[in-house]
Amino acid sequence: MKYGFFDDKNKEYVITDPQTPWPWINYLGSEDFFSLISNTAGGYSFYKDAKYRRLTRYRYNNVPMDSGGRYFYIKDEDTVWSPGWKPCKTPLDKYECRHGMNYTNIIGEKNGVSASCLFFVPLNTWAEVQKVTLTNHSDGVKKIKLFSFMEWALWNAATDMENFQRNLSTGEVEIEGSTIYHKTEYKERRNHYAYYSVNHKIDGYDTDRESFMGLYNGFEEPQAVEDGQATMSVAHGWSPIASHYLEVELQPGASKDFVFILGYVENKDHEKWERKGVINKTKAIETMAKFDTAAKVDQAFGELKAYWDSLLTGFVLNSGDDKLDRMVNIWNQYQCMITFCFSRSASFFESGIGRGMGFRDSNQDLIGFVHQVPERARQRIIDIASTQFLDGACYHQYQPLTKRGNDDIGGGFNDDPMWLILGVTAYIKETGDFSILEEQVPFDNDMRVAKPLFNHLTLSFDHVVNHLGPHGLPLIGRADWNDCLNLNCFSTDPNESYQTTGNKTEGSKAESLMIAGLFVVYGRDYIELCKVLGKNEEAARAQVHVDNMVEAIKQHGWDGEWFLRAYDFYGNKVGSNENEEGKIFVESNGWCTMAEIGKEEGMVKKALDSVKEKLDTPYGIVLNNPAFSEYIIEYGEISSYPPGYKENAGIFCHNNPWIMIGETKLGRGDEAWEYFRKICPSYLQEISDLHKTEPYMYAQMIAGKDAYKPGEAKNSWLSGTAAWNYYTITQYILGIQPHYEGLKIDPCIPKNWKGYQVERKFRNSVYKIEVRNPDKVSKGLKSITVDGKEIEGNIIPIMPGGAHHVLVVLGNE
């Protein structure tokens, strides 16, 4: 069943039934102020850091699911309803939720009154703006009562739900005019407060939850709304909220706009107070003034739309397949940008508390958004590299607020350093900005020991070289990309986290074929970069190590039909036909085929055929198989999951593209495409009841064939899945690859595709590329013509600017 449709013209997904199989959400904000919003207006807001600066309270995994948000209650005679259906759940005459690029518009209609609620975070603004338009479609005068509602979080999202013996005594607010200020702890160490305002004179307010809601009422039936009047409560401790009460009269056909603003302010120490006990509201008032009319809001909204339109002009596909075009042109790019902003911190599956920015994650995310916001990619690279240690190792995560490495989880994930090479080379290839390599970048945030970024890359490369195991393969450390394959953990205590507990890496023989393949791929990128920079000696030095690795993989990493996954602590094979369970894994076969190791000997084809035979399913490629049915202490968390879920034979949409790219290396465009289509959400819209998560967003995982409900997705939005699928479809299937010297063209498509057009902005020029496939091939170039002139090779050279027409004809030469 479908719950909505794509509106490609407006770049919106339109939900027409509020009872989606799971909250289908959107994100507001892309700089400092962020909000999550579901199709029924649930969710929350935070400033920069979802753990330490949570502005509004949200309860995960509640009953009902998705409880709490920015709610409006409309009392029209005896009927109380909400524009987003929830929380009232009063049946609506009309409901529509339009999730667009960083905005959401929810429209509800009941008994002749419609409420259109537009939610967005204006550019360069620390606030969520909510424009509520009430319209009377009936023949009579309507007198309605409008209540707003949101609940303040007491800033730290973790202690907010744990430390009640303190929290229930600390809540403080101020009310001035139509603005409710939340100032809990502002008296002491905080230099920030939040506020919720409306641009109309109000007829009442509530700031104490129990007074507004009643102790025994749910969000669906606040007592004050039932009673039809605000209680004018002033919160002292307990749970502060913000609710405005407005009496609205609408003539037949008339409309009124109300602009609500949820904002955040920071004040310098000496500017905290207006007078004793009264907060300095200057900045809040300034922000409110910017959006105090519907016209100003509309203009800001226009600017936001223009901003996103421009972000999405870097790569525009016309393939003739709407499902593909809308993913490539809109939703996949959008997901990449959101993932860039949030890493893995806050979604409807990530509580915003547990995880900071990942070293590995952020580098991979970069390949999805670098063409959109190269200058922010540059900053991100510097931030990431600053958490590296002097020996090339690095913190696995860092906190977005402080940008410091996260001591809880520490380092020791031996794949981490290599991803920096991916991030940096992707950035330079896109921008041509080699100057980044000369930036002085600190180690562990200590500028006294800073070195040029290039040196960080060398250290990353050497970190693998310096940590080889008995077979000359990379030691795995705590884990490689698969955080749950914990070959040195040996955990028996259920109270400890596999990710943060001590590891027995000393004396371990655990080697990773995934890191081995990764090292070959990005080692070659490192070598290529060295050569471009004229550092031929370093290139030659590195080449020796890469060649050695290729040999080691061929000799010790090949299992006969596929690549091994690893050697364990004791030196036993993992991911081998010899194993009873977990005989074959995606990761090593992805990376070793991407690296084309043993291609001539047939290893790449054999490995990919084995993946197809043993891991492919109707819903995607499962991570490993057979699934682990018992806990294997020397494998760790992977074997803790029930079969078919997560790393234990779930379908990881993040690693499926590695196999797709491997297939393109063989020129098998049909196979690559088929894998792509299976997990691409726009193709899954019709099976939303099974798939469960948003049809416009990739999920991290889809339940595998061994699961109870194969095809059911989890953990949508924040995942390396976004970047890898975008990278794969644009660079390896559509085959348009940024390169140091220009735009490389190397498509690998299904044979029955007739062709496609791509408009690609690259280094100040716009390339209008038309690809034709008259011979029904998957791969191979007959000719490339640029502005009417055929070129040699497959790299379109960098042009001085302007628009350029490129004709690519595929075929057998």
Of residues 264-293, which lie at the interface with its own copies (CB under 8 A)? 276-277
* Inter-residue contact 160 to 182 (CB < 8 Å): no
Name which position in 639, 682, 688, 778 contacts its own copies (CB under 8 A): 639
Contact string 225-244 vs its own copies (x = CB under 8 A): ---------x-xx-x-----
For residues 627 and 33, give the distance between their C-alpha atoms in angstroms, rounded to a whole number: 42
- Nearer Cβ to its own copies, position 272 or 531? 272
Give the residue with the Cβ less far from its own copies, 642 or 811.
Answer: 642
636 vs 738, beta carbon nearer its own copies: 636
Q: Which of 54, 86, 463, 471 binds its own copies (CB under 8 A)?
A: 86
What is the CB neighbour count within 10 angstroms for residue 575? 26
Of 163 and 764, the one with the shorter C-beta distance to its own copies is 163
- With binding defined as CB under 8 A, does residue 701 bind its own copies? yes
Distance CA 353, CA 346 (A): 8
Which residue blocks in 179-293 are alpha helix, DSSP H?
209-213, 223-227, 282-290
- In whole angstroms, how close is the CB of 81 to its own copies at the nearest point? 15
Query: In the range 647-666, which residues lie near its own copies by CB under 8 A?
Result: 650
207 lines the binding site for its own copies (CB under 8 A): no
Q: 């593209």: which residue's tokens?
A: 657
- Of residues 345 and 588, the one with the C-beta less far from its own copies: 345
Residues between 305 and 364 with contacts to its own copies, criterion CB under 8 A: 349-351, 353-354
Please report, as residue ranges, which positions from 118 to 157 form the binding site for its own copies (by CB under 8 A): 151, 155-156
3-state class of 648 per DSSP? strand
Q: Please, which residue, 307 or 631, has the CB nearer to its own copies?
A: 631
C-alpha distances in angstroms, 149 versus 55, 212, 243, 633?
A: 14, 9, 4, 49
In which element (H, E) is residue 42 found? none
- Show the site string, 55-84: x = touches its own copies by CB under 8 A, - = not: ----xxxxxxx-xx----------------
Amino acid at 242: A
789 is a contact residue toward its own copies (CB under 8 A): no
Which of 181, 258 has the CB closer to its own copies?
181
Minimum Å gap between C-beta 381 and its own copies is 26
Stretch near its own copies under the rule CB under 8 A, chosen from 450-458, 545-553, 591-599, 645-653: 645-653
Q: Is the peptide bond before 87 cis (omega within 30 degrees of 0)?
A: yes
Q: x-or-dash pattern for its own copies, window 592-621, by CB under 8 A?
A: ------------------------------
Q: Are 611 and 655 in contact (CB under 8 A)?
A: no
Question: Which span sits near its own copies by CB under 8 A: 372-380, 531-539, 616-624, 704-712?
Answer: 704-712
Task: CB nearer to its own copies: give 216 or 792.
Answer: 216
Instruction: Output DSSP code: residue 703.
Output: -
Closest by Cα among 355, 394, 400, 396 to 380: 400
Shortest spacing between CB 586 and its own copies, in angstroms: 18
* Sole binder of its own copies in the list 70, 209, 565, 804 (CB under 8 A): 209
* Least Cβ distance, residue 238 to its own copies (angstroms): 9
Q: Candidates 7, 8, 17, 220: give the one binding its own copies (CB under 8 A).
A: 220
Residues 386 to 425 in contact with its own copies, rule: CB under 8 A: 401
Q: How far is the CB of 168 from its own copies (least distance, A)?
A: 6
Three-state secondary structure string covering 596-610:
CCCCCCCHHHHHHHH
How far apart, in Å, are the Cα atoms of 727 and each of 53, 313, 420, 605, 736?
33, 16, 16, 22, 10
The secondary structure element, H or E, covering residue 514 is helix 513-532
Select from 14, 123, 158, 382 the one that contacts its own copies (CB under 8 A): 158
The answer to whether the CB of 798 falls within 8 A of the CB of 765 is: yes
Among 5, 140, 164, 570, binds its own copies (CB under 8 A): 164
Selected from 94, 166, 754, 805, the binder of its own copies by CB under 8 A is 166
Q: How many residues bind its own copies (CB under 8 A)?
A: 81
Q: List the structure tokens of 594.
A: 């991407």
Spatial separation of the C-alpha atoms in residues 204 and 188, rounded to whole Å: 29
Q: Does 219 bind its own copies (CB under 8 A)?
A: yes
Can you tell me whether residue 256 is helix, strand or coil? strand
**483 part of the active site:** yes
DSSP letter at 159 equals G
Shortest separation between residue 807's beta carbon and its own copies, angstroms: 46
- Give every CB contact of residue 799 below 8 A, 6+ residues apart in sequence: 763, 764, 765
Q: Which of 178, 576, 688, 700 binds its own copies (CB under 8 A)?
A: 700
Residue with smaller CB distance to its own copies, 170 or 785: 170
State residue 415 phi and psi, 5-degree precision.
Answer: -85, -25
Footprint on residues 475-534 left by its own copies (CB under 8 A)? 491-495, 497
Where does this chain touch its own copies (CB under 8 A) — which range of 182-190, 280-288, 521-529, 618-626?
182-190
**Residues 737, 743 contacting (CB under 8 angstroms):** yes
Report residue 531: phi and psi, to 5°: -65, -45
- Nearest to 532, CA basis, from 739, 370, 382: 739
Q: Residue 401 or 809: which CB sits closer to its own copies? A: 401
44 binds its own copies (CB under 8 A): no
Q: Which of 483, 525, 568, 616 is the catalytic position? A: 483
Please report, to the nearest 10 degrees, the dihedral formed by the alpha carbons of residues 645, 648, 654, 659 taken in order.
-130
- Among 78, 580, 600, 630, contact with its own copies (rule: CB under 8 A): 630
Sign of CA dihedral 679, 681, 684, 689: positive
Pairwise CA distance, residues 43 & 128, whole Å = 12
| CB nearer its own copies, residue 133 or residue 700 | 700
| Short-list 479, 467, 380, CA closest to 422 | 380
The C-alpha atoms of residue 560 and residue 576 are separated, in whole angstroms, by 9
Query: Smallest distance from the beta carbon of 150 to its own copies, in angstroms?
Result: 12
Q: Which of residues 713-772 bind its own copies (CB under 8 A)?
A: 714-715
Residue 279 CB, shortest distance to its own copies, in Å, is 13
Does the footprint of its own copies cover residue 642 (CB under 8 A)? yes
Q: Which residue among 141, 168, 278, 390 contacts its own copies (CB under 8 A)?
A: 168
Using CB under 8 A as the binding rule, the residues of this chain from 12 to 31 that contact its own copies are: 19, 21-22
CA–CA dist 289, 127 (Å, integer): 12
Q: CA 767 → CA 234, 783, 788, 802, 806, distances in Å?
A: 60, 16, 13, 9, 7
Residue 715: both structure tokens together: 């953990």
Q: Could you give the CA distance from residue 563 to residue 331 in angstroms, rounded to a whole number?
A: 34
Kindly state the smallest distance separating residue 573's Cβ from its own copies, in Å.
22
Q: Does 217 contact its own copies by CB under 8 A?
A: yes
**Residues labelled catalytic:** 483
